Amino acid sequence: MAHLRKYPNGSWQAVVRSKGLRPQSHTFPSRAQATTWARSVEAELDQGIFFDRKAAATTTLADLIARYSREVTPRKKGAQQEARRLAQLTRALGHLTVERLDAKQFAAYRNNRLAEGLSGATVNRELAAFSHVIEVARRKWGVCLAANPIRLVTKAKEASGRTRRLAREEEERLLGACAPSPRRSGWIQDLEI
């Protein structure tokens, strides 16, 4: 099934053929790497878990984001906000191919955005939007990714929520403003605790 070919520059190409699939090939600097790759592809074919990696080698993140923006984002309630987040991600990481994705790139992105002064919550929302892009690409579009690399990235620390309570004088002013009038029923004022 596997065929190895040595090029004049010293690199090696491994080609794996299987009935019903187009030939899979990849070039490596050494014969050992080419042999290892060929064996792994053959093992995946034997187990029935093989994915065509050619599409992952030529597809960029910008391609995935563009398709997601056309097909998925318009159906969401916060489509405009998500479109802005995805545009930012395209500018920052759109040049990467799907084949070369790993958690380090997204961790560096997170650190850069935090250094720019963005809040942890904003950065986490950006990463969550892009994580969904990758999940849709993996599960619905058949893009070859073993796992979602963003799931391995530690989330940025978010500020704790607000805990402010009304002061007594603020509560009195609020209830005074809600006092019954000819137009209001007065039920708000009756809810004192």
* Distance of alpha carbon 36 from alpha carbon 78, whole angstroms: 46
**Extents of the domains making up the chain:** 2-50, 57-152
- The predicted model gives 155-182 an average pLDDT of 80
Is the confidence at residue 16, as pLDDT, over 80?
A: yes
pLDDT, position 53? 65
- Percent of the chain at pLDDT above 70? 85
pLDDT, tens digit, 9 for 90 and up, residues 94-126:
888 887 788 898 999 999 999 999 888 999 998
Predicted local distance difference test score (pLDDT) of residue 45: 74
Higher pLDDT, 49 or 25: 25
pTM of the full structure? 0.61
Q: State yes or no: pLDDT of 39 exceeds 70.
A: yes
57-152 folds as DNA polymerase; domain 1 (1.10.150)
b/e sequence 45-80, b meaning 16+ C-beta within 10 Å? beeeebeeeeebeebbbbbbbebbbeebbeeeeeee
pLDDT band with cut points at 50, 70 and 90 for residue 190: low
Whether pLDDT at 185 is above 60? no
Count Cβ neighbours within 10 Å for each residue of 32-44 and write b for 16 or more, e otherwise.
eebeebbeebbee
Does the pLDDT value for residue 186 go beyond 70?
no
- pLDDT of 78 over the 80 cut: yes
